[in-house]
Each structure stands twice: as structure tokens, then as C-alpha cells.
Amino acid sequence: MKKTLALASAFLFTLLLFSVFSFKPLNVEEGDKKGAFKYKDFQKPEYCKGCHNDFYQQWDQAMMSKAYTHEWDEIEYFKLAVAHAEADPKLKDVVDGCNGCHTPMAYLVGDVTPPKPSEGSRANESVSCEVCHLITGIEGDTAYNFNWVIEPGQTKYAARKGEKGSPNHKIVKTDLHSSTKICGSCHNEKSPFGVWVKSTQLEWEEGAYADANVTCQECHMPDTKMKTAAMGTTYPDARTHLFNGGHDPGKVRGTIELRIQPDIRETVPGETVVFTTTVFNQKTGHKFPTGSVEDRIVWLHVEAEDEDGNRYHIQVDKKGFEGEEYTIASDVLAYQDMGVPLGIENFEGVRREDVPIGDRIFRMPYFDPEGRMTIMQWNTASLGVDYRIGPRETKTETYTFELPFEIKPGKVKVTADLYYRLLVKPVGEYLEVPEEEYTAQLVNSHSTEITVYP
Ligand code: HEC
Ligand code: HEC
Ligand code: HEC
Ligand code: HEC
Ligand code: HEC
């Protein structure tokens, strides 16, 4: 009864909107978008929830609904980006542009800098239903820097027309919604220096999943038998709106397969054993890590343990490629450019990473105009070596272990652990980001054994 009433009122409300709204069949070009619309041109997600409750509940648990309000986003945006634009007014447009992807409505209505999340403004709707379902196309061939075209109004755009149609809105089918380009428009980003600081969709395009047409939607909106709307049709292949990624430990766990083996099984103290590790990216359609690569690290830790419980850390063998120093954990300082927005003169930086020294790190460093590592992607003038794990790529590392004389004879267990961190820990701690953003997550683990004779 309650539901019928809610539906009926949603229907009436829609009729009202049809008559009150002036339609804006605007083909807004890039650059014209900021401030081209009003908040009343967009429905709230709670309005769509009336008929699309399942999708609403899924979206509400995804990062999409928190792209503006999530604490680390708020800290980076206000403490670093907005403050940086205040110190250097040339950056104002770039920093307004953060909202083009994180809270597109606020950008489109010119509500920039938006109020802080605690003020409860409509900017908090983040990447809402209306944002994606009012997108009609992409400008140009390459999707990046929110170069979508949007047409607010009563027509919603999706990958199918809807068998029964909707009493509430029109539906127009587009090819874009089943293409990876709609995702790429926000998941590819070029910095003001012309550097690709986010390239998830481009990485996908270069990989094996593109050849097989396994799209972003296949893995992040997996299809299932489901009714897509109250009064709607049950489809065998309805697209869920889960959008789970790096923030879901379940999605990250097991992404990489990991094995370790020794070159000899039996040895004596003082001898050398070489362990080879194999990491195989079996699960991601892009590189791992991807997206906010300036923040993310993946590292491989290898340790031996004798029967007395003594532990010996084994460092990775150097391969000798250019830029390798950025892929082996050390205690050097980095991120000095944060000093500008933080108002600290000659800021010495914080540790580059807080990972056992000598562990292999799978990452790509971003450099500021002075060549120092940065997590401020808008201040990225160049990129370093790309030592991430591509889709279906396998990388091997060797770890040479010189057995100490004090090692206890018997079985020695050698374990390789692969960890993932959303944000390098020293930056998280320094900026007082909630700890869950930099907790080490175990991606995979494998052990092997050797026997040591006296
Ligand atoms: C009064 C109920 C109602 C409301 C409110 C409503 N819709 Fe729908 N919508 C439907 C129905 C019914 C369908 C058709 C489902 C079918 O049979 O395929 C539909 C279909 C859709 C489709 C996809 C077409 C398809 O079936 O594949 C999209 C996208 C969509 N709605 C978006 C929205 C958005 C965004 C909002 C909020 C601005 C919204 N809807 C509000 C009832 C509603
Ligand atoms: C309007 C811009 C926009 C579009 C279009 C968009 N995204 Fe996103 N997406 C974002 C933003 C911004 C975030 C980051 C949220 C955060 O962490 O602040 C995000 C987060 C995600 C995440 C979660 C990552 C994590 O860390 O857990 C996944 C997965 C994702 N998007 C997949 C997709 C897919 C698949 C598509 C295409 C169907 C898509 N996105 C389209 C802006 C967009
Ligand atoms: C990040 C972009 C994005 C957001 C946000 C988003 N959607 Fe979608 N939605 C899509 C895409 C892409 C598809 C089509 C996927 C496909 O079929 O390949 C889709 C499909 C749909 C469908 C049709 C499902 C089907 O299988 O026919 C409905 C209904 C829908 N969305 C409603 C909503 C509602 C309601 C919200 C907000 C709670 C929402 N969407 C938020 C991108 C989005
Ligand atoms: C074959 C499955 C698959 C495909 C295809 C795929 N992804 Fe992913 N994606 C994953 C898995 C698994 C993860 C979790 C591991 C990780 O964080 O990379 C992930 C993670 C992500 C993340 C979070 C990364 C981070 O570190 O925060 C984003 C964003 C994302 N994917 C977007 C996309 C987009 C956009 C596309 C299409 C261009 C896409 N994915 C295609 C499987 C896939
Ligand atoms: C072209 C679209 C786009 C622009 C412009 C953009 N972002 Fe993002 N941002 C994203 C996407 C997509 C993600 C999610 C990537 C992932 O999950 O790895 C993201 C992730 C982030 C994260 C990490 C969130 C997390 O939970 O780890 C922060 C912080 C952030 N952005 C801040 C900013 C700031 C500040 C700006 C402006 C200087 C900005 N972004 C500009 C699309 C964009």
C-alpha cells in the first residue's frame, strides 16, 4: 500500500515536472559545462530509488555515492588542492575540475568550490544516477577529463530501451552505456602538464580483455537475473550497480596469484639459496594497481622462519632497469610539494613509503615539475618507470638468501606475502587520513620449505 502510494506520488510529481521544466536540449561543449545548469535540473538519487530500489541500495554502498564526501577525498581536495589553487591562482580551473568527476552536478551548476560535505549540500550526491543516465555521448575519440555530453531532462539514457517503458521518464538506448568509454570519461585523466595521471580505460584498451570485449561493466557491474524497476521487466542479464574496486578487500583479495620456489631444497648454513616468486595478474582488466596510482602501492615481502621461530627478511635481487630505485622500498623522503598548499617553507617531506626496506614495490612514481615524487596528480609533470602488473601479465622476482650461521638446522619455511595499500602510509598519517585508507591488505600469500643440515 505504502509502495503504491509512493509510486503514485512519484508519477504525479513527474507529470508536474514535465509541465514545469523547460527542456534544455543543450549540447554543451567542453569548457561551457561549468555553470550551464541548475540543481533543479537534476533529480536526487532518492527520487529514482522510488522505483529502482535495488540499484539505489547497491550504488549507495559503492564509492560512486561517496566520491565527494569520502574523507580522504575531502582531505586531499580541501587541504591540498583548494589550498594549492589559493597559493597559485593559475590552478583554479584545474581544481574546479576535480568536481567534474567527483561531483559532476556541482560542477555543472557552477557550485565550485562546493560547500564541505558536513554542510549537506547537493554536491554530496557525488556521481549520482542522473549523472550517468543523462550522458548522451563523448566529445572526440578519447574519453578523459569528464568530456561527456550531458542533457538533463526527462529522457534517461541506458544500454537498453526497456521492454515495458517507464511511466516516469523516457528511455533512449545508447551504445555508449555498454561501452568502456563512459567509464573512461572519468577514469582517464590528463594533468595540466599533459601527463596521463589516470588511465584505467586506456590500460584496458591495450590489454587482452579489450580484444575479448570483456568490458568494465562485465567485472564491475556483473549481470544477473533481476527486475530492474518496480513495475519493470525481469531480465536474465540485468546490470548490478556494485562498482566495487580497490576499497573492497574482497575484490582485491586473490587478484594476483603468487608462488615461490627455491632452486635447491637441501642446504647448510653459510650456503646460498635463490627463491623465485611468480606473480600472475589473473583478475583485473587493467593494471594492478590502477586509478589513483599516485597513492597506491603493492609490495612483495619475503621472509624465512626456522624451527625456533627466528625470522630472516630476504631482500629482492636488483634487476638493473632504469628507475628501479622507485620500486624497491627505502627510507628516503618524498612528497615535498605538499609544503606549498600546507604553507610550510622548505618542507622536507615524509617517507616515500613505510614498507620493509628491500621489498619489491609494484608501482609507477609521479613526479612534480622539480622531479620529486608527488601524490598531487594535478602537479604531475612526468611519470617514472611503470612497474605495475598488467592484465594477465606475469612478473618474476628472485630473492637470494645467504643462510646465516646461527640459523637452526631443520625445516625452514619461506613465505612470500603480497600486500596492497590504497594510500602510502606516511602521507596518510601526516594528513590524518582515517587509518583504513592505509591499512595493508593481504592480496595473496604462498610458502615453500627447505631443509637445513647442521
Ligand atoms: C515511477 C517509477 C520510476 C521512477 C521514479 C524512475 N524510473 Fe527509471 N524506470 C522505470 C521503469 C518501470 C523502467 C522500465 C524497466 C523495464 O521494464 O525495462 C525504468 C527504466 C529505467 C532505465 C533503463 C532502461 C532499462 O530498463 O534498461 C534507466 C536508466 C532508468 N530507468 C533510470 C532512472 C533514473 C535515473 C531515475 C531517477 C531520475 C528513474 N529511472 C526514476 C520506472 C521509474
Ligand atoms: C562521472 C564520472 C564517473 C563515471 C562516468 C564513472 N566513474 Fe567510476 N568513479 C568515479 C569517481 C570520482 C570514483 C572515485 C570515488 C572515490 O574514491 O572518491 C569512482 C570509483 C569507481 C570504482 C571504485 C574504486 C574503488 O576504489 O573502490 C569503480 C570500480 C568504478 N568507479 C568503476 C566505474 C565503471 C565500471 C564505470 C563505467 C560503467 C565508471 N566507474 C564510470 C567517477 C566516475
Ligand atoms: C557510473 C555511472 C552510473 C551510475 C552512477 C548509475 N548508473 Fe545505472 N547504469 C549505468 C550503465 C553503464 C548501465 C548499462 C550497463 C550495461 O547494460 O552494459 C546502467 C544501467 C541501468 C539500468 C538498466 C539495467 C539493465 O540491465 O537494463 C537502470 C534501471 C539503472 N542503470 C538505474 C540507475 C539508478 C537508479 C542509479 C542510481 C541509484 C544508477 N543507475 C546509477 C551506469 C550508471
Ligand atoms: C576482468 C575483470 C575487470 C575488468 C574488465 C575491469 N576491471 Fe576494474 N578491477 C577489477 C578487479 C579485480 C579490481 C580490484 C583490484 C584492483 O584494485 O585493481 C579492479 C579495480 C578497479 C578500480 C579500483 C582501483 C584502485 O586501486 O582503486 C577501478 C577504479 C576500476 N577497477 C575501474 C575499471 C574500469 C574503468 C574498467 C574498464 C575500462 C575496468 N575496471 C575493467 C577487475 C576488472
Ligand atoms: C577525470 C576525472 C577526475 C578528475 C578531473 C579528478 N579525479 Fe579524483 N578520482 C577520479 C577517479 C575515477 C578516482 C578513482 C580511482 C581509483 O579508484 O583508483 C579518483 C580518485 C581520487 C582520490 C582517491 C580516493 C581514494 O579513496 O583513494 C582522491 C583523493 C581524488 N581523486 C582527488 C581528486 C582531486 C583533489 C582532484 C582535482 C585536483 C581530482 N581528484 C580530479 C576521477 C577524477
Q: Which domains occur in the chain, in start order?
A: 2-239 (no CATH), 249-452 (2.60.40.3880)
Atom of ligand 3 nearest to the CA of 243: 1
Atom of ligand 3 nearest to the CA of 60: 38
Beta-carbon count within 10 A of 453 CB: 10
Query: Where is mean pLDDT largest: 10-24, 28-42, 402-416?
Result: 402-416
Q: Give the C-alpha separation, 229 to 420, whole Å.
A: 37
Residue-level pLDDT at 31 = 55
pLDDT higher than 50, residue 354: yes
Cβ of 245 closer than 6 Å to ligand 2, yes or no, is yes
Q: Give the C-alpha separation, 229 to 48, whole Å.
A: 10
pTM: 0.94
Cβ of 152 closer than 6 Å to ligand 2, yes or no, is no
Nearest ligand atom owner, CA of 171: 1
Cβ of 95 closer than 6 Å to ligand 5, yes or no, is yes
Cell of 130: 542522473
Residue-level pLDDT at 18 = 40
Mean of all residue pLDDT scores within the chain: 94
Q: Give the C-alpha separation, 134 to 172, whole Å.
A: 10
User: Across residues 196-214, what is the average pLDDT?
Assistant: 97
Q: Give the C-alpha separation, 10 to 223, whole Å.
A: 27
Cβ of 428 closer than 6 Å to ligand 5, yes or no, is no
DSSP 448: E
Q: Give the C-alpha separation, 60 to 159, whole Å.
A: 21
Binding pocket residue ranges, ligand 1, CB within 6 Å: 7, 10-11, 43, 47-48, 50-52, 129-130, 133, 156, 158, 160, 162-164, 166-169, 171, 228-229, 231-233
Cell of 146: 569528464
316 alpha carbon – ligand 2 mean position (Å)? 34
Residue-level pLDDT at 29 = 43
Binding pocket residue ranges, ligand 4, CB within 6 Å: 180, 183, 187, 200-201, 204, 209, 214, 216, 218-220, 245-246, 251-252, 255, 283-286, 288-292, 296
Contact 448, 263 (CB under 8 A): no
pLDDT higher than 70, residue 2: no
Contact 449, 260 (CB under 8 A): no
Phi, psi of 10 (to 5 degrees): -60, -40
285 alpha carbon – ligand 4 mean position (Å)? 6
Hey, whose CA ends up nearest to atom 24 of ligand 4?
Answer: 246
User: Across residues 165-184, what is the average pLDDT?
Assistant: 96
pLDDT higher than 70, residue 64: yes
Q: How far is CA 247 from the centre of its chain?
A: 8
Burial of 120 (0-12, 13-18, 19+ CB in 10 A): exposed
Nearest ligand atom owner, CA of 66: 2
Residue-level pLDDT at 163 = 87
Burial of 304 (0-12, 13-18, 19+ CB in 10 A): buried
Atom of ligand 3 nearest to the CA of 217: 18
Q: Give the C-alpha separation, 240 to 222, whole Å.
A: 6
37 alpha carbon – ligand 4 mean position (Å)? 32
132 alpha carbon – ligand 3 mean position (Å)? 7
Phi/psi region, residue 76 (left: phi>0; alpha: psi -120 to 50; beta: rest), is alpha
User: Across residues 144-155, what is the average pLDDT?
Assistant: 97
Cβ of 132 closer than 6 Å to ligand 2, yes or no, is yes
Nearest ligand atom owner, CA of 144: 5
Q: Give the C-alpha separation, 316 to 261, whole Å.
A: 14
pLDDT higher than 60, residue 117: yes
Distances (CA, A) of 223 to 134, 172, 209, 368: 22, 20, 17, 41
| 194 Cβ neighbours under 8 A, 6+ residues apart | none
Q: Give the C-alpha separation, 201 to 180, whole Å.
A: 7
Cell of 110: 557552477
Q: What residue spans of 361-435 are helical by DSSP H? A: 425-430
Q: What digits encode the pLDDT tens for the residues 317-327?
A: 999 999 999 99
User: Across residues 104-110, what is the average pLDDT?
Assistant: 98
Hey, whose CA ends up nearest to atom 12 of ligand 2?
Answer: 102
Residue-level pLDDT at 164 = 87
pLDDT higher than 70, residue 93: yes
Q: What residue spans of 30-153 are helical by DSSP H? A: 45-49, 53-60, 71-75, 83-87, 92-96, 98-102, 104-108, 129-133
Cβ of 177 closer than 6 Å to ligand 2, yes or no, is no
Residue-level pLDDT at 32 = 74
DSSP 140: S
